[in-house]
Amino acid sequence: MKHENQLIVSVSRRAMVLGALGGVAALMGAPVIGAEPASRAGMSPDALVESVSTEVLDDIKADPALRNGDFNKLQKLIDGKVAPYVDFERMTRLSVGPGWRGATPEQRQALIREFRTYVVRTYSGALSRVTDHKVKLRPFHAQPGDADAMVRTVVAPSNGDPILLDYRLEKTDAGWKIYDVTILGVSMVETFRNSFASEVNQNGVDGLIKALADRNRQLAAGNKS
């Protein structure tokens, strides 16, 4: 695989990690979307990812407000076009980890709500980097009957560093749904998991909900400035 590590320039290992995260900053606008969810219900996971991420990317390219991090617009785009293909509950559950089991139904709803905002806020600032990026699928291996799939893509501008963007999907009754996104090899769920677990250990489930809500408020304030 040769698309890796354009971002990595020199000796520093810090540079390496941060380069990886530069990938985060650079994209992620690209999760998925779809105009009519129903029409994509029967799609294979790779076809679904390709069609949805291409469409979202086109929307972002066409709308300067989105690239400038207009949170309400992005929220709308996600709700309308991405959300039908994402299992936010599973994404939240996996990220929260063991703490989920002890959470009450109300706490779980609060976690899902705050986590979803957190994810959208996190990446809304990164969309300004989108120029003429295109989505390409990397080789996809699947057996018929698989209920879990990893669809690997590369999102590249015509002139610049390509970004590896991979999606983990599960098969549900309503078609394939994304439950994790991996950027340059760094999984969102895995990366959040440890810090969420330690927050729950120290301050309980309510502590984590509060930490996410606080962070969302800070991000909201920061984006406006």
Partner 1 sequence: MTGGRDGHGGRWARAAAAAAGLLLTACATVPPDAGRNPRDPYERVNRQVSAFNDKFDRYLMKPLAKGYQAVVPRAFRTCINNGFANLGEVRNAANDILQAKPGGVATDTGRLAINSTLGVAGCFDVATRMGFERRHEDFGLTLARWGAGTGPYVVLPFLGPSDVRDGIGLVPDFYSSPVGYVMPVSARFYLEGTGLVDTRAELLDATKLIEQVALDPYQFTRDAYLQRRLSLQYEGNPPLPKLEDDDSGESGPGPDATKAKPAQPAQPDGR
Closest CA to 166 of 139, 144, 199: 139
Angstrom distances, CA of residue 75 to CA of 78, 122, 123: 5, 12, 11
3-state secondary structure of 41: coil
Q: Which of residues 155-194 bind partner 1 (CB under 8 A)?
A: 159, 161-162, 164, 168, 179-180, 184-187, 189-191, 193-194
Over the range 121-142, which residues count as b (16 or more CB within 10 Å of their CB) and which as e?
A: bbbbbbbbbbeebebeeeebee
Are 199 and 178 a contacting pair, CB within 8 Å? no
| Distance set, CA 164 to CA 144, 192, 224 (Å) | 25, 19, 29
In the complex with partner 1, which residue's Cβ is closer, 85 or 192?
192
Is residue 25 at the binding interface for partner 1, with CB under 8 A as the rule? Answer: yes
Q: Report, in Å, the least distance between residue 53 CB and partner 1.
A: 17
135 binds partner 1 (CB under 8 A): no
- Least distance in Å: CB of 33 to partner 1? 23
Question: Is 98 a residue that touches partner 1 (CB under 8 A)?
Answer: yes
Burial of 101: CB neighbours in 10 Å, binned 0-12, 13-18, 19+ = exposed
Q: Is 12 in the site for partner 1 (CB under 8 A)?
A: yes
Residue 151 binds partner 1, judged by CB under 8 A: no
Judged by CB, which is closer to partner 1: 2, or 36?
A: 2
DSSP-derived 3-state class of residue 103: coil
* Residues contributing to the site for partner 1 (CB under 8 A): 1-22, 24-26, 93-94, 97-98, 100-101, 118, 122, 125-126, 129, 138, 150, 152, 159, 161-162, 164, 168, 179-180, 184-187, 189-191, 193-202, 211-212, 215, 218-219, 222
